[in-house]
Structure 1
């Protein structure tokens, strides 16, 4: 699976697209609708989609050579993250459609209000659901750090990125760069792990 260059590149492209979205968002004073709104959300959609192979790759690495409990924990982290991916994708698609259909910000607000009025939409798509994405990523990355298959500071970089977005969405470029710092080296590390026998994979250096 990891012989494809684009799959390995997802570990860098995803955070870079997140950074691009944050930078474009800073230029959009009205925050939609318009070119900045649509192009920014397309970058964010690309970022989230790129994290699908990232999640699957980390699950594979965390489960390699482990007992059933370890594989189960890795699987739980992956499922949690992918559920979060689905929620974020749904949110971005709604935002894109709202931007396309609305003439101004007030019309967008009304459309969002109508969407959120449906039972279960707000927690699934706007509050609880997206949080699962970050929780799953942290579960997998923390498991890799505990197994000494990646550096222990990488989960902390992701936590810092999550906190930054929680403080202000204007800090999304910083969050994207922190995610890049945490995830970019893992693409090469997982690729290297595929070239080693299982015993060597289980003792991968945490310094990468």
Structure 2
């Protein structure tokens, strides 16, 4: 996977999820249906790209112990968040309408540990790791000092209001853009050296 593409595509997929989520709620309820499934698939694709992004950041940091810990925490967070989105998709397929979704979610969350791992603490690890990796890059002057601020805004804004997910995704895209450009420059240099 081209890492430059991942740095751009992941925020755009999160943006797509946010926009689809808003559209899905225009009728007063979200899910089940095409918009519910499409939005969740977009976010799942973004999470898959974050594996590439986190790995690239880890390599940029020299694979040191702190970066490795951040990477592992991030991968666990990605797995937990992905589990949540897969559950949401499955519930969407099983439910006849929006009202039928709640009892299904209740059944899933009643399983010991699922609520904490999949809906509360687990996905939070994804955001903590993302911020940790970017802060480390900023401390080493590999990204601008404002980059961690934008990354923080990316996940703080939707906490205030979920309909602001697209705005958070734009913050993510702006924060990742220099990393995407850096990867493009590094790739061009690699081609010139081996030409």
- Report the TM-score, using the length of structure 2 for normalisation: 0.91
- Partners of 2:17 and 2:110 in 1: CA distance: 27
**Aligned-pair CA distance for 1:193:** 4.7
Match of 2:4, SS state, is helix
Map 1:64-75 to 2 at 5 A: 71-75=64-68
Aligned counterpart, 1:40: 39
Runs of 4+ in 1 over 2 A off after TM superposition: 190-196
Aligned counterpart, 1:78: 71
User: Could you list the runs of 5+ residues in structure 1 that have no partner in the other structure?
Assistant: 65-70, 197-208
Asked whether the 8 Å contact 1:57–1:190 carries over to 2, the reply is no
Asked whether the 8 Å contact 1:62–1:74 carries over to 2, the reply is yes
- Partners of 1:143 and 1:193 in 2: CA distance: 20
1:128 paired to 2:127 = no
Which of 15, 23, 37 does residue 19 from structure 1 map onto?
15
- Partners of 1:14 and 1:49 in 2: CA distance: 8
- Partners of 2:60 and 2:80 in 1: CA distance: 25
Which one is further off, 182-191 or 22-31?
A: 182-191
- Partners of 1:83 and 1:117 in 2: CA distance: 21
**Aligned-pair CA distance for 1:45:** 0.8
> Which whole-Å deviations, capped at 9, do the CAs of 1:125-176 have from their partners, x for residues lacking one?
0010000000000110000000001101011001111111110110110011
- Partners of 1:51 and 1:108 in 2: CA distance: 29
Aligned counterpart, 1:203: none
Which of 152, 158, 161 does residue 165 from structure 1 map onto?
158
1:61 paired to 2:60 = yes
- Report the TM-score, using the length of structure 1 for normalisation: 0.85
Match of 1:28, SS state, is helix
Asked whether the 8 Å contact 2:54–2:74 carries over to 1, the reply is yes
Map 1:104-183 to 2 at 5 A: 104-183=97-176
**Aligned-pair CA distance for 1:104:** 1.0
- Partners of 1:157 and 1:32 in 2: CA distance: 30
User: Could you list the runs of 5+ residues in structure 2 that have no partner in the other structure?
Assistant: 191-195
- Partners of 1:168 and 1:123 in 2: CA distance: 22
Asked whether the 8 Å contact 2:17–2:39 carries over to 1, the reply is yes
Provide the aligned length of Structure 1 versus Structure 2: 186
RMSD: 1.4
